[in-house]
Structure 1
Amino acid sequence: MPKVSRNHRYKFKKEPPEGFSKIEHALNSFSEKMKEAEKQTLEVNRPKYESTWKITMLNHQRSRYIFDLYYKRKLISRKLYDWLIANKFADKELIAKWKKNGYEKLCCLQCIQVGNTNQQTTCICRVPKASMNGSDNEQGKHIRCKNCGCRGCASTD
């Protein structure tokens, strides 16, 4: 996200293309939520890795909002979409994965990097819920990803 000046206007190298004013309010809302998430402290007995879950979730939501505006609803121009990506309003790599088969619901890029796990496999949230052991679900356990807190982003769910 670009740095925000004191008068809460964005500083860009180039002026935003036409149509930015229509989505500026939503992007400002995401920016405010992100600031709140960065300031938020963890409860006493919570694991440290949970501290970034809210930030990762907001990054996903903001990127998904821009992805849907351009690819699904076709409400913004290509020029505005490219400008938003260049000014880091959305995660370019995450959007690139969403366009591929099997990654339509991907929560974050860390979940598909095999080097981050002990078994050199993808994250638990990428496993379809139907193929998980039924006893875990019956006991009320909710398996969550340590990277982002996702409960399941497999495309078959």
Structure 2
Amino acid sequence: MPKVRRSRKPPPEGWELIEPTLEELDQKMREELYDYCLKEKIADQNLIAKWRKQGYENLCCLRCIQARDTNFGTNCVCRVPKSKLEEGKIVECVHCGCRGCSG
């Protein structure tokens, strides 16, 4: 799971006192979201299992990570981080319409 995002500026005084609490609350929130999605059958159980893995927290659908469904035998274009794409290029998944779920 990704850590709490920080900017390049040094954290404010006392940050080290609240950081563990913020990380704990983030973990609880994610667990409650997973449980809610399973209970309400909002998302596929396999998709929810992927959400728990690092790098797949924002995965939109399982087809985007299946290499057999792509032209070049790799992941879907929506899984490419935006920092690795050309500036100004708009990307959209041909399967689900996602515009970038890699983060």
* Shorter-chain TM band: 0.5 to 0.7
Deviation at 1:127, TM superposition (A): 0.2
Question: Aligned partner of 2:99: which letter?
Answer: R
Counterpart CA distance in 1 for 2:82 and 2:59 is 14
From 92, 95, 99, the counterpart of 1:147: 95
Give per-residue Cα distances to partners, 1:112-157, cap 9 Å, x unaligned.
00000110000000000111122xx1xxx52110111111011xx3
Report the structure number with the largest CA radius of gyration. 1
Q: How do 1:3-152 and structure 2 match up within 5 A? A: 72=29, 84=39, 88-134=41-87, 137=88, 141-152=89-100
Bigger helix share: 1
Taking only the aligned residue pairs, the percentage that are identical comes to: 49
- Name the Cα RMSD after superposition: 2.6
Q: For the structure 1 residues 75 and 93, does the alpha-carbon distance in structure 2 shift closer, same or farther, using more than 3 Å as the test? A: closer
Aligned length, in residue pairs:
75
Task: Structure 1 unaligned segments of length 5 or more: list them.
Answer: 1-70
TM-score by length of 1: 0.41
Give per-residue Cα distances to partners, 1:58-99, cap 9 Å, x unaligned.
xxxxxxxxxxxxx516669x7x876x27xx443101100000
TM-score by length of 2: 0.61
Q: Is the Cα contact below 8 Å between 2:37 and 2:43 reproduced in 1?
A: no
Task: Structure 2 unaligned segments of length 5 or more: list them.
Answer: 1-27
Q: For the structure 1 residues 148 and 101, does the alpha-carbon distance in structure 2 shift closer, same or farther, using more than 3 Å as the test? A: same
